[in-house]
């Protein structure tokens, strides 16, 4: 039987998409986000009103009486969110951690949830959420994963149990992120440099010849949009990917560099280089060159200073 109440910890892009789909299916949803206590709260409150989501004033307020808690916070908040929720969890409530965190972080979060009498399940989101929404491919892991899978399926998710061993699902996700988020950072770096040197068309032509199955013009526009809009979150994820690599004894040079590039773009976005974040046109240009030129203008301004 599906849970009577579902609590969302984190009401960002992913949390709001889940809330919309769960509410559309008639599920009762409560939510909490750290930004509810900041000047950025009103868009979250407006969304909650529109979709009849109950906003709580704390982690504990959101998860109390919930049979399923879904944690969808930034990677760096994975452990903190579990710690804040654990004391208020109902006995045997499922705590589904969707955060892009390393296996080590997931195991620490699981310990905290278990101390609070909850059942921790790691969830690895294996591609971008917006196109798939609730049906995004989701790997589950941990001793309670097999018990949660049919409940998620009933709710409309697309779960698959990766392993009863905690850390397998998150390792799969993080190792994939080394490539995917790393590729985003590489494309931004390559094409901004190519634009500056005036060789972007030649570079794209060469990429098309080498990888003809990819529409590089379209892919570049998408990468620029995602990095500009979500660079901070992606940087946090790449630090966790670096931790995943480091846990093996391998120095994570690539993952660390990708985290730095994502963070650099996020810093510029926070400074307003790409326009007002609240504007529908923010980082929405179908031509990546528009955003690349803004980056180059920012670099020139820094040199002038």
- pLDDT, tens digit, 9 for 90 and up, residues 187-236: 999 999 999 999 999 999 999 999 999 999 999 999 999 999 999 999 99
Q: Return all residues near 1 (Cβ < 8 A) that are at least 6 apart.
A: 151, 154
Mean of all residue pLDDT scores within the chain: 95
CATH architecture for the domain at 5-165: 3-Layer(aba) Sandwich (3.40)
- Residues shown for the chain: 305
How much of the chain exceeds pLDDT 70, in percent? 100
Q: Is 115 helix (H, G, I), strand (E, B) or coil?
A: helix
How do the domains of the chain map onto residue ranges? Answer: 5-165, 170-304
According to DSSP H, which parts of the chain are helical? 13-24, 41-51, 59-63, 78-85, 103-115, 129-132, 145-155, 168-197, 200-210, 216-246, 253-270, 288-304
Answer yes or no: CATH 1.10.730.10 is held by domain 170-304: no
Q: What is the pLDDT of residues 74-109, one digit of tens each?
A: 999 999 999 999 999 999 999 999 999 999 999 999
Q: In what order do the strands lie in the sheet with 137-141?
A: 54-55, 28-32, 5-9, 68-71, 94-97, 119-125, 137-141, 158-163
142-171 CB burial, b ≥16 within 10 A, e <16: bebbeebbebbeebbbebebbbeebbbbbb
88-116 CB burial, b ≥16 within 10 A, e <16: bbbeebbbbbbbbbbbbbbbbbbbbbbeb
Task: Give residue 1's pLDDT.
Answer: 67
Task: Give residue 3's pLDDT.
Answer: 77
Q: What is the pLDDT of residues 102-148, one digit of tens each?
A: 999 999 999 999 999 999 999 999 998 999 999 999 999 999 999 99
Task: Give residue 145's pLDDT.
Answer: 98
Asked whether the beta carbons of 112 and 83 are under 8 A apart, the reply is yes
pTM: 0.89
Tell me the pLDDT band of 304, cut-offs 50, 70 and 90. Answer: confident
How much of the chain exceeds pLDDT 90, in percent? 90
């Amino acid at each position: 039987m599906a849970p009577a109440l579902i609590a969302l910890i984190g009401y960002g892009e992913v949390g709001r998409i889940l809330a919309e789909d769960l509410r559309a299916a008639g599920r009762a949803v409560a939510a909490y986000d750290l930004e509810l206590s900041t000047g950025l709260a009103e868009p979250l409150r407006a969304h909650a009103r529109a979709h009849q989501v109950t906003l709580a004033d704390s982690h504990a307020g959101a998860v109390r009486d919930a049979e399923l808690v879904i944690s969808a916070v930034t990677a760096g908040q994975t452990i903190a969110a579990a710690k804040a929720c654990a004391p208020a969890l109902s006995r045997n409530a499922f705590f589904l951690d969707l955060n892009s965190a390393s296996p080590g972080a997931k195991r620490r979060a699981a310990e905290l949830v278990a101390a609070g009498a909850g059942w921790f399940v790691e969830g690895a989101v294996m591609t971008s959420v917006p196109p798939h929404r609730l049906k995004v491919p989701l790997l589950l892991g941990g001793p309670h994963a097999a018990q949660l899978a049919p409940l998620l399926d009933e709710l409309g998710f697309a779960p698959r149990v990766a392993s009863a061993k905690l850390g397998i699902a998150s390792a799969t996700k993080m190792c994939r992120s080394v490539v995917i988020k790393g590729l985003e950072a590489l494309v931004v770096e390559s094409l901004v440099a190519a634009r500056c040197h005036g060789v972007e068309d030649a570079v794209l032509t060469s990429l098309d010849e080498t990888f003809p199955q990819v529409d590089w013009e379209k892919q570049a526009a998408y990468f620029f949009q995602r990095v500009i809009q979500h660079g901070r979150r992606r940087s946090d994820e790449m630090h966790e990917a670096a931790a995943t690599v480091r846990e093996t004894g391998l120095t994570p040079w690539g993952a660390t560099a990708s985290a730095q590039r994502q963070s650099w773009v996020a810093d510029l976005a926070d400074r307003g280089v790409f326009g007002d974040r609240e504007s529908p046109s923010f980082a929405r240009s179908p031509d990546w060159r528009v955003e690349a030129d803004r980056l180059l203008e920012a670099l020139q301004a820094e040199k002038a200073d």
